[in-house]
C-alpha cells in the first residue's frame, strides 16, 4: 500500500495553547486507520487540519501525492476527501432521502439551466434520486427514507451521514466519534457498512473513536496521539499492552 494522506511535521496553536506539535502521520490507501488518545490530545484539531477547516502554522499535509496544505474544505470535498462530525449535521426539516439528494452539485442550482435546459435538470434529478435510493438501501434506512431527518434516532443520523459520503466520489472519509450516542445494534450496522465501503468500494477511513471495542473491530493500524504528537502506532493489542499509553490515559497510578 501507499500513503493517501501524509501529515508532515505539522504544528497548530490557538493563542498561547499549542494543540498540535510537530505531528507526522501517514494513512495508507485502502486502510481503516484508528486515531485515539486522551481528551485534549488534539485529535479533532488534527482532523480539521487534514480536512482543510484550519491551516497549520507550520508543516504540510499531502493527499494523493499533492500538497493540500492551503486548500479549503469545500475544494477537498470535491476531490473526495470528506469528514463526518461527532454531532450529525443533517437538514432536520427535510426527509432522509432529500438529505442525500442535497449532497451532489446539481444543474438545477443554475438559473440558466432551469430556464433553458429543463430536460437536463430533470434527467439529473432523476439520476440523483436513483442513487440516493440505492445509498439509503445500502445503509439500512430505506424504511425511514420519507421521515424527517430531525426525527431520526442518533444512530440513524450517523448512518445517514455515512450515506452522504456515498453520494459523491469519496476516496477518504474522516470519521469523528461516529459511535457517540449510538445504541449497540445500530453501532454494529455502522461497523458493517464501514467495512463494506472499505472492501467493496475501496474507501480509506481515518477514525477518531473512544469506543475501544469499535476500534478493535475496525482499525489496523491504530495511531495514539498525546499532547498533539504521535506517541505510538501499532495494532490495537500492542497499544492496549503498552505501559506508556496506559499512563497517558489513566495517569501514573494506572496498573
pLDDT digits (tens, 9 = 90+) for 64-117: 999 999 899 989 988 999 988 755 678 889 999 999 998 876 444 444 455 445
Domain assignment of residue 130, given as a range: 91-151
Q: Which residues contact 184 (CB under 8 A, 6 or more apart)?
A: none
Tell me: do 122 and 242 sit in the same domain.
no
Whole-structure pTM value: 0.84
The whole-angstrom separation of Cα 70 and Cα 236 is 33
Give domain status of residue 201, yes or no. Answer: yes
Return the closest-CA partner of residue 57 out of 47, 67, 49, 65.
49
Please write the tens of the pLDDT for every residue from 185-218.
888 988 999 999 999 999 999 999 888 899 999 9
β-pairing, 58-63 vs 172-176, is: unpaired
Total domains in the fold of the chain: 2
Contact 50, 174 (CB under 8 A): yes
Tell me: do 71 and 84 sit in the same domain.
yes
Tell me: do 180 and 210 sit in the same domain.
yes
Amino acid at each position: 500500500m501507499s500513503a493517501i494522506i501524509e501529515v508532515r511535521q505539522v504544528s497548530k496553536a490557538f493563542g498561547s495553547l499549542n494543540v498540535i506539535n510537530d505531528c507526522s502521520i501517514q494513512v495508507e490507501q485502502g486502510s481503516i486507520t484508528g486515531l485515539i488518545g486522551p481528551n485534549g490530545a488534539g485529535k479533532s484539531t488534527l482532523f480539521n487540519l487534514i480536512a482543510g477547516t484550519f491551516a497549520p502554522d507550520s508543516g504540510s499535509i499531502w493527499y494523493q501525492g499533492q500538497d493540500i496544505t492551503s486548500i479549503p474544505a469545500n475544494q477537498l470535498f470535491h476531490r473526495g476527501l470528506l469528514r463526518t462530525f461527532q454531532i450529525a449535521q443533517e437538514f432536520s426539516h427535510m426527509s432522509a432521502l432529500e438529505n442525500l439528494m442535497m449532497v451532489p452539485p446539481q444543474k438545477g442550482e443554475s438559473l440558466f439551466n432551469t430556464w433553458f435546459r429543463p430536460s437536463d435538470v430533470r434527467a439529473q434529478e432523476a439520476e440523483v434520486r436513483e442513487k440516493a435510493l440505492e445509498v439509503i438501501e445500502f445503509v439500512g434506512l430505506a424504511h425511514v427514507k420519507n421521515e424527517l431527518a430531525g426525527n431520526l434516532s442518533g444512530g440513524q443520523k450517523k448512518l445517514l451521514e455515512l450515506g452522504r459520503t456515498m453520494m459523491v466520489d469519496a476516496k477518504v472519509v474522516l470519521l469523528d466519534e461516529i459511535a457517540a450516542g449510538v445504541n449497540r445494534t445500530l453501532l454494529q450496522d455502522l461497523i458493517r457498512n464501514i467495512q463494506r465501503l472499505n472492501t467493496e468500494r475501496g474507501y480509506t477511513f481515518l477514525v477518531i473513536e473512544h469506543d475501544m471495542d469499535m476500534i478493535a473491530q475496525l482499525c489496523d493500524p491504530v495511531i495514539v496521539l498525546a499532547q498533539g504528537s504521535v506517541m505510538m502506532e501499532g495494532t490495537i493489542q500492542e497499544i492496549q499492552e503498552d505501559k506508556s499509553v496506559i499512563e497517558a490515559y489513566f495517569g501514573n497510578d494506572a496498573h
